[in-house]
Every structure is written in structure tokens, then in C-alpha cells.
Structure 1
């Protein structure tokens, strides 16, 4: 059943961040966190799903088999209007066993051991982009000159996608994750990317290489995977592989520039454990996937004295969970020495982010290299003039003017 609760008076979700506090979750969300683990919110379509604000309850629900990630299940709290038909969204919005079957096909390249073997290649990319940044004009936009190219180059090499096409796939990726895009715009971008990946798969079928798309082409030949499913998986990995990390690089840099003591701690240390700690704390502190993890209850679930009924939508607010003082003392403080490894920035349970080992590696290389190579890096504008991504499912900045 779906809720018939009167939405009048409920807070709209997503909630607005406070001016002057770009790194903090919305104040209304933090207030709800203090009140309790569950509250109701109102979405764009008038539906009233449950918002899960606290860490423990959020993790429990994300790992509960009574909760579904299936976007087609009635009651699913969709973040945007979805036009029927067109390309699908691959395994992240599916339930097991279909989710597990497709996910297993792309797990191997993202294992910790395989990803660590990529470190020299990632370091080379980071070094080359820093050299290009230093050789270019000042001030520079760190997003366009560094934060976006680094993960795009990495994921292109891993997938077997020509980096020369980066303008095309970055432009369409931005449309897909932008809340303000119309269903028609979102579908056109999705179709364009799916057709593009399908063409690349055709090339890999004819002339396979050592990349991930060639591996998917092999599964198509073996009859384990349809070409449509393979293309949709390619779109998912391409978008997720560059958009999220690019925003973490840029927003993380801005957060560090605004916390010079923490930046100095990171820049001046030779201990890789300090960098690892910094990566986890910045992931916790910023939690750039601020649209919530969307689910729907398969059956009645009791949570903290409340009953989430079958068919009711659930939004697990990871940004609020990562600011829960029960899980992280003094959570509003950026502290690179904090043990933040148990954060939920990558989700939790069977749907937690497949690419998190790669994202961690890229951030480790960037955060251990950029500020040491350019120790005088600083903003070239006031932070109040920086355009933040309030209108997307991934938070960050559209541009970051810097100089040195």
C-alpha cells in the first residue's frame, strides 16, 4: 500500500542548504535528525515517504531484505519525473537475484587488489594534469582543468572508452543527474549515452581488448548478457566513474582551503595513513550523494517505535547519518585525524557503491599529491561567489577558480 498522508505542512525534500554553510546538510534536516530517526517529507509529486535521518536506522534499513531498490515497484520515491520507456538504469535500481547477477559481471575490475594495481597509472594521470595546470594561465578553474579530467581519464582507460569523447559523455551525464532537467531532456541524454556505449560494444565484439567493455562483450558472445543490458551497465559505470569523484576532488579541495589547519596537516605529512584518514573524513563530512538512498518497503517494518507499511517509500539520508553525533562525536567539525571509516557515503548493504575502491584510490593519489605539488594553492574568488550544485543528485561545485 502507498501512503495517503496529507502532505500539507510536511517539509519538502530535498531540503535547502543554508547560505554560508555550503558543506553542511540542510538545517531543517539536521533539526529532524535531533528530533528522531524517522520523519515524513513531501516529494515533487506530492508523495510522502519516510526520511531516515540517523545512522544506525539508516544502515539497518539499507541491509534489510524487506526493503526494495526496484524503481518500478509501486511506492518507490522517485527523485524526478520519469518518462516511461527508453533505456533502463541497470542493476543499481534492481533487487536480487537480478541485481546480484549483473553486478557480479563487473565486480572483478573493482576489487581492492586489482584497483591498487592501477595506482601508478592514476599517479601518472594526476601528475600530468598538475603539470598542465601549472603551465596554464592563472587563475584556473580547478574543475575543468583537474577535478573532471582526472577521473574521466581513469574510467575511460578502465572501460575502454575514448577520452576524446569526454565532452559528449560529460555533457549528457550532467543532464541525467540534474534534478531540473525535464523527462524529455533526461531521456534524450540517456538514449544518446546508451547508443554511444552500444556502438563501442559493437567495436569490442569485433576487436576485443583488455578493458571492461571488452569483458562485457565477451559475456554477450557467451549468451550471458544481452547487448542492451551491457550498454546500460556501461552508461552506469561511465557516469558514476567520473561525476562523483570529480565532485569529491573539487569540493574536498574547497573544504580544505576553507580549513587551512586541516589542509596543512594533510600537506605536511609523509604518512600515507594520514591521507587515508583524510579521504574517509572528507567523504563523511561532505557526503556528496545528497539526494538520499531511495527504497520502498516490501512488507511492514518496525523502526524506532514507528511502522513503515508495505508500499511506503523510504529515503535514507546518508548526509544526515554521517552527521549523527551517536556515530561521529562533534560531527559538524572537519577532523582529518578522526576514524571515519564506518561512514555511509558509499551506501551500505548489497547496493553499496561498486566503485568505492577506485574512488578511494583516486582521492588518495589526488589528496597526497595536489597540495604538495602546489603548496600555495588558494581560492581566486570569494567562497560566496562559487556556484554550488544545489540542483543535482550529486553535490559539488560547477567551477572552482584557484590560483597559486
Structure 2
């Protein structure tokens, strides 16, 4: 079997044409991506008529160029030699510098497609080629910005809810959602920027969150600030999670070897591929660290890949599930995954167990993949500083912003 071609499918993600409600508060209940979000899918074709599909994240418009560049060295290769092909791609691009998320995204989508080919050729789901299953369904958690959304997740069977700061610090919102979901549902907080918190502010926020019994606090400081993450780990009694921006085992290494986090969060669209993600999980297992893959910016194909990996590792925690971002997500692939009793079933079909609906993807051509500054000045950024475009900030009015109202009275 030989690779004969590699095709890319780049699409713009956003509200469907004619639908109202481009924000989470709108009539359609869909997220506002400020025109920046793209999905990139790949198809690897072979001379035996078997093809595989994959997904690449990490700046998809740019990743597409990397995928097309790799095509020159992949035509004629045997797609079943997955690890050797991955190494060939990795080595061939090292002359451009250390591999980042763009290169990681390209390797990921291609490698995922190779696994899909192997599964189809052997008439086996990928999880069975990885050693078999620990479990046949994966627990998921959803996102909530309001108590009403959290309540809706519970009605759909979710037993895990995550609240995102997205630069803002709203501890009372987290407390109100905890009150809504009760003590038996897991609560997580994503404190990611921009703007990122300083180390001391992240410690103050973490200490304020301690009474809310979090499953984990995610990305309290900028991802490259690993020494700060160590200070936070030692200063608060809240489990930490990070790692969604790394692109291979070397990127996740310090998080694990320094025991900086309790949960790693590889993104199955840019972590380097299915094999790299399983290697990360094995490294984490040796340090008693669990795995909860990131899915916040991904499309539906990478979610299938995450399910196959999580089915085969002993230290799987929970999978991030984006369900309310855009209704088009349920039209560009088949079949569609559905949450049942707070879990997603592990696919049983050969390969990944999912196919692209190409005619639907064609309806949404890409026109932009760079986000802009948020419109909510005073929430993600300190008032009056939005146009400064700073990477991190000290939070002002600490008593009002970095303490739970109920605890400061």
C-alpha cells in the first residue's frame, strides 16, 4: 500500500448564515468567535482505495501550508509505517527551528489519518490496535458561563462543569455555579488569558477558590511561565491542570517531570498525534498524573481521536466537550457523537469511526483565522487598557476582584 495524495479541507467556523444569536446570549445560543476560528481536516489517500482522515489544530490556516509542504515527502510511503513516517516528518522540519504548534498540528492530522487507514485496512477500531479498552465510554465535562447554562448541562446528564475566566476574574460567578450544580458535580476553572494573571494574583485567586472544591484549576499563568506554575502549586490547595498548547512529548516533559500539575491536557489536534498523546499519558502515569484532553478549539474529528486514546489509557480523567459552540459541527461529519448519562461512547467502527461530509464543509470557506481583542473592556482587561494589548496584567481593586464576595463580608 502506498500514499498517493493528501488533501486538505479548511473551513470557517461560526454561526450559520441567516441565524441570529452570534453570541452565547443570542437567540441561537452559539459562541462568538470574532471571525477567528477555523477547522482543518486532512485526507490521506492510497493506491488501494483506502483513505484516512484527520484533524489539525494550532492556527489551521497556517497549518494547511505545512500539511501541503509535507506532501512532497509522503507520496509513495507505506501509510502503515506510522511511527517511521512521523519521525521522517519531524526530522525533515527541524531545520526550520523547534517544532511548535503549527508543525505539531500538521503532524497530528496526518498521523491521525494514518491510524484511520490502518484501522480500516485491518477492519478494527483504533483503540483495539492500541492495546484494547479499559472502558467503553468516556466521561465528559461541559462549559458554563452562567448558572442557567450549568443547569442545562446537568439536565443533559453532565457531571462536570468548567467555568472560564478568559482573562477576567469573576470568583462570584464560580461560586454561584457551584451553588447551582451542588457538591456532587465536579467543578473546574480555566483562568487562561489574555490577559494572563501575575503569579501573585494567581495565588490569591487560587486561595479564594479553595473552598469551592475544584477538580482542577487550569492555566493560572501564561504557559511558558513554568517557574510561576511551581510557585502556585506550592502555595495553594487546588489541583492544577495545563498542557493544551504543547505539540509533542518534549513539550509536556517539564510539566510531568517537575510534577507541576495534577492533570495534563494534550490537545488531540496539535499534540503530535495519537502515538504522541499516548506517550504523554504513559509519562504522566509514571508520575501519578491524570489526563484530560483539551477540546476547546477543536472540531469533531479530533474528538473521535481523543476517545480512542482515552479508552486505552489507565489514567484517563475526563474529556472536555464543546457542545454549544456552533450547530454546523453536527453537519460536517457523520456519525454525530451524543452525550448519554454524562459520557460519550467509544466508537466501534473501523479506524476512527467517523467520516467527513465534504459538501457541507464546502459551504464555509475560510476567510480569517486570527482573533482580535475582545469587546468586553473591563472584563478580560483592566478598564482603559484594551488597546494596549498587553500579554499579562496585575489585577487592580484586589479586594473586589480577587476575593469571593461572601468571604470578604
TM over 0.5: no
Of structures 1 and 2, the one scoring higher in RCO (CA 8 A, sep 6+) is: 1
Structure 1 length-normalised TM: 0.29
Structure 2 length-normalised TM: 0.28
The structure that is helix-richer by fraction is: 1
The structure that is strand-richer by fraction is: 2
